[in-house]
Chains A and B, each alone.
Chain A
């Protein structure tokens, strides 16, 4: 989840307003609160915010409880501490120093911008790790068994590996498996997608730069070669690399050394390089877009990842694996009926395993917890002439998403949709905190009403059969207030 909301806890009203303006200016959605005691019970989740900025605190014990609640989520946002009131906040809250950082005051735009950017990237990285298997490609087909055998053969040597195969066939999964089975497994695995980075940025990204090397290089920075020191560097989509960059990579591979951009000093690098591409590099050599010498330097041990259409017998295991990853990452769950799996076997899978993964994630969001039948699939996956019987009722995307995260509420809503009576809530054996529980339900319903009404408070109030002013108060209470909701409210008043 790439989140834009930043929680600001600051009882210093003037500073909180300045922070709100600054955060909006740098494209974040601030949620400003002067206290935090109620947040844990409001239906909020730690992952709702990309970072939490802590200023003046009125109730330190409530803050301690709030931080304890945050820490229960391993993806919790970092605390950016503005106030000296808390002393050494990292030690006080028993947080790693990367998860609790003191901000300079007066605020520095560059520092805040950089910390928020890092917070967002850290979350995206963790989500990737949650979903990429390091144990290697899934399946028992002969094509996959062959790939696994090759991984085992090459992993323990420092041989350069070139992985080829169509897009979406899992080249990074193979690269990670080689790393995980190598003697470098406890050192970094650093991936770089050469095709996604503009050529003018790629050199500094790979080799780093010295301070002042170019406009914007305000500090020295390590490149991916340095970050991967002792470990494995995965150069994905190397076939998209420009010819001048190919020369520089070739030199780094031959001499095992490089210079940072703007630097004079050569640095030794101890990295194992694994390269990958979906392009046919031999064709590219003929066309003059890929250097032959680099090709032979990389192609020491070639591995080709098979397309899905050549390993359709792996489909059930792959589906099971993808659902397991979604469940472990709390991104929903779904089941596919045997008939659905059979229908998918007849599809040609141009996007390979990535396409399958996207499809399963979509089904898990649209039909959370359900068993998907062939008629519930997007039409391109159904054979020609397939006549659908009644498809599964597809709840709205917001409802489906909410449902996957909050099963008790969602069941009530599904019953509502079907026009049936609401089931009686079940008291867990350990009991509940009634006030917290009711507040959780209230906040959740308000969120849904706001989503359904496009953030217009007056419309949301109608859906909840409550006065607009009452709803505005509740939005404040739960920290749900949004600028656009306020604007809509003002416009309609």
Chain B
């Protein structure tokens, strides 16, 4: 299957229920994404990542208890870790750098994540294809 046609089994993690509902609504129209679960904390992300083995996690940066950066580090140590995109309300260089440092594969702004996620997936596919 060509990377453009691959379906990503996707897990959504955010402590903001309204954002999760919106994201479910907006992303279900994207044929490349199949939403397989949703969680509310970094703890949920780590547990559900092991249980559901998603291809992609769209993860909030700031959450109570365990935030998205720590959850990203822990998930990247599991077997066959998924691609992780951090989504944040704050779209600036410093937040992007912290996400990259934690090992996230990409960063999305919550203002336009639904329209930019495809381009980011294509970038990841290209990088994977080139080793």
- Chain B residues contacting A295 (CB-CB under 8 Å) are none
Assembled-state Cα–Cα distance A148/B73 (Å): 27
User: Assuming A3-B64, A128-B101, is B43 touching A358 (CB within 8 A)?
Assistant: no
Q: Does residue B94 face the partner (Cβ distance < 8 Å to A)?
A: yes
Residue of A nearest to B94 (CB): A121
- Chain B residues contacting A1 (CB-CB under 8 Å) are 65-67, 70
Q: Are B98 and A124 in contact (CB under 8 A)?
A: yes
Interface residues on chain A, number (Cβ under 8 Å): 50
Q: Does residue A361 face the partner (Cβ distance < 8 Å to B)?
A: yes
Q: Does residue A396 face the partner (Cβ distance < 8 Å to B)?
A: yes
- Chain B residues contacting A358 (CB-CB under 8 Å) are 73-74, 76-77, 103
Measured between C-beta atoms, what is the minimum distance from A284 to chain B in Å? Answer: 13
Q: Contact string, B1-35, partner A, CB cutoff 8 A, digits 1/0? A: 00000000000000111110000000000000000
- Chain A residues contacting B41 (CB-CB under 8 Å) are 451
Q: Does residue A141 face the partner (Cβ distance < 8 Å to B)?
A: no
Stretch at the interface among A192-200, A242-250, A302-310, A461-469: A192-200
Q: Are B67 and A3 in contact (CB under 8 A)?
A: yes
Q: Are B100 and A451 in contact (CB under 8 A)?
A: no
Measured between C-beta atoms, what is the minimum distance from B87 to chain A in Å? Answer: 10
Residue of B nearest to A363 (CB): B77
Q: Are B79 and A378 in contact (CB under 8 A)?
A: yes
Q: Does residue B53 face the partner (Cβ distance < 8 Å to A)?
A: no
Q: Are B90 and A117 in contact (CB under 8 A)?
A: yes
Q: Does residue B36 face the partner (Cβ distance < 8 Å to A)?
A: no
Q: Does residue A229 face the partner (Cβ distance < 8 Å to B)?
A: no
User: Assuming A48-B64, A128-B101, A484-B40, is B74 touching A361 (CB within 8 A)?
Assistant: yes
Q: Tell which of B17, B62, B77 touches A2, judged by Cβ atoms closer than 8 Å.
A: B62
Q: Does residue B93 face the partner (Cβ distance < 8 Å to A)?
A: yes
- Chain A residues contacting B122 (CB-CB under 8 Å) are none
Q: Are B16 and A27 in contact (CB under 8 A)?
A: yes
Q: Are A397 and B46 in contact (CB under 8 A)?
A: yes
Q: Does residue A78 face the partner (Cβ distance < 8 Å to B)?
A: no
Q: Tell which of B67, B68, B97 touches A192, judged by Cβ atoms closer than 8 Å.
A: B97
Q: Contact string, B44-75, partner A, CB cutoff 8 A, digits 1/0? A: 00110000000000001111111111100110
- Chain A residues contacting B63 (CB-CB under 8 Å) are 2-4
- Chain A residues contacting B61 (CB-CB under 8 Å) are 2
Residues 84-120 of B contacting A (Cβ, < 8 Å): 89-90, 92-101, 103, 107, 110
Q: Does residue B126 face the partner (Cβ distance < 8 Å to A)?
A: no
Q: Does residue A440 face the partner (Cβ distance < 8 Å to B)?
A: no
Q: Tell which of B43, B69, B93, B98 touches A451, judged by Cβ atoms closer than 8 Å.
A: B43
Measured between C-beta atoms, what is the minimum distance from A78 to chain B in Å? Answer: 15
- The DSSP consensus for interface residues of chain A is helix
Assembled-state Cα–Cα distance A397/B65 (Å): 11
Assembled-state Cα–Cα distance A398/B16 (Å): 19
- Chain B residues contacting A2 (CB-CB under 8 Å) are 61-63, 67-70
User: Assuming A26-B89, A362-B78, A380-B79, is B98 touching A401 (CB within 8 A)?
Assistant: no
Residues 208-222 of A contacting B (Cβ, < 8 Å): none
Q: Does residue A39 face the partner (Cβ distance < 8 Å to B)?
A: no
Assembled-state Cα–Cα distance A227/B41 (Å): 35
Q: Tell which of B17, B43, B46, B100 touches A487, judged by Cβ atoms closer than 8 Å.
A: B17
Residues 332-381 of A contacting B (Cβ, < 8 Å): 351, 354-355, 357-359, 361-362, 365, 378-380
Q: Does residue A201 face the partner (Cβ distance < 8 Å to B)?
A: yes
Q: Contact string, A421-462, partner B, CB cutoff 8 A, digits 1/0? A: 000000000000000000000000000000100110000000
Assembled-state Cα–Cα distance A51/B40 (Å): 21
Q: Are B47 and A396 in contact (CB under 8 A)?
A: yes
Q: Are B93 and A197 in contact (CB under 8 A)?
A: yes
Assembled-state Cα–Cα distance A48/B66 (Å): 10
- Chain B residues contacting A359 (CB-CB under 8 Å) are 77
Q: Does residue A50 face the partner (Cβ distance < 8 Å to B)?
A: yes
- Chain A residues contacting B77 (CB-CB under 8 Å) are 355, 358-359, 361-362, 378
Assembled-state Cα–Cα distance A1/B42 (Å): 10
Q: Are A451 and B74 in contact (CB under 8 A)?
A: no
- Chain B residues contacting A128 (CB-CB under 8 Å) are 98, 101
Assembled-state Cα–Cα distance A4/B110 (Å): 15
Measured between C-beta atoms, what is the minimum distance from B131 to chain A in Å? Answer: 11
- Chain A residues contacting B95 (CB-CB under 8 Å) are 121
Q: Are B74 and A196 in contact (CB under 8 A)?
A: no
Q: Does residue A10 face the partner (Cβ distance < 8 Å to B)?
A: no
B residues contacting A by CB (< 8 A) are 15-19, 40-41, 43, 46-47, 60-70, 73-74, 76-80, 89-90, 92-101, 103, 107, 110
What are the 6 tightest A-B residue pairs by CB atom distance, in nearest-first order? A2-B67, A196-B100, A4-B62, A27-B89, A358-B77, A362-B77
A sample of 10 cross-chain residue pairs with beta-carbon separation below 8 angstroms, ordered by A number, consists of A2-B67, A48-B64, A50-B62, A196-B101, A205-B93, A331-B70, A361-B77, A365-B46, A379-B79, A397-B46
A residues contacting B by CB (< 8 A) are 1-5, 24, 26-29, 48, 50, 117, 120-121, 124, 128, 191-193, 195-198, 201-202, 205, 331, 351, 354-355, 357-359, 361-362, 365, 378-380, 396-398, 401, 451, 454-455, 483-484, 487
